[in-house]
Amino acid sequence: MGYLDGFKITFGKLFEERVTTEYPKEKREKPDRFHGRHVLNRYEDGMEKCIGCELCAGVCPAKCIYVRGADNPEEAPVSPGERYGFVYEINYLRCIHCDLCVEACPTEAITESKLFEFSFANRSDAIYTKDELVVDDQGIPQKQPWELWHAGDDLKTSGWMRATASSGNPAYENRVGWSGELGYGVRGPERGQQFDESEPQALDGKDNQD
């Protein structure tokens, strides 16, 4: 192909419809299962869901999660179980957002928000601690100065988890199997799922889909 043929192709592309967007001026809508920055959730009574089992750290292929559990203090328990996550850290210089930690968690403590626009001025900011990861007293993710949150980034963080029983039991088809979360209640089902009559309804109807 000669130079003129190359310029001809380039010139012809100027009149075709673009398939790219002018980011950051134009931003695509994020899908429901988008993998962004993690959050540590609480039950509806305010107790933390993390039990410090370290399964998330064990399954992480990037070795970016560090967890150390501790026995719950009898006078002021942090979680409903015998143990809780005393130390919880995620190194976002290593995290690949594969969501294997979310799949491994037995209590649905760790989920991923849709936040992905965040950068760090130093390495220490990239290592999120439990104080930064756990949701606040209203169940809302903690927002750091270097994060750019958009409306809806904190929604549907657990909408796709455990839609059916892990063993594939057909009795759990079309039933929501996750627990309620502080500030959200039992989140609404995804497309293809529906609430059973015995299931509590979601507090926020925005999560329901046709």
Strand partners, 91: 127
Positions in the chain whose pLDDT score sits under 70? 1, 158-178, 188-210
Residue 210 is predicted with a pLDDT of 39
What confidence score (pLDDT) does residue 207 get? 43
Same-domain pairing of 135 and 99:
yes
Contact 132, 143 (CB under 8 A): no
Q: Which amino acid is at 53?
A: C
Q: What is the pLDDT of residue 208?
A: 42
pLDDT (0 to 100) of residue 176: 60
Same domain, yes or no, for 47 and 130?
yes
Same domain, 136 and 172: no
Per-residue pLDDT at 201: 45
**Nearest residue to 47 (alpha-carbon basis) of 160, 202, 180:** 180
Assigned domain for 20 exists: no
The whole-angstrom separation of Cα 128 and Cα 89 is 5
List CB contacts of 13: < 8 A, sequence separation 6 or more. Answer: none
pLDDT of residue 90: 96
120: CATH: 3.30.70.3270
79/124 same-domain check: yes
pLDDT digits (tens, 9 = 90+) for 89-106: 999 999 998 888 988 888
Same domain (yes/no): 75, 115: yes
Could you list the residue range(s) of the whole structural domain that residue 185 is in? Answer: 160-210
Query: Quick one: 40 and 105 in the same domain?
Result: yes
Q: Are residues 49 and 80 in the same domain?
A: yes
Same domain, 67 and 96: yes
- Please state the domain count of the chain: 2
pLDDT of residue 96: 93
pLDDT of residue 172: 54
Whether residues 134 and 206 fall in one domain? no
pLDDT of the residue at 206: 43
- Among 91, 110, 140, where does a domain finish? 140
- Model confidence, pTM: 0.73
Residue pair 204/185 in contact (Cβ under 8 Å)? The answer is yes
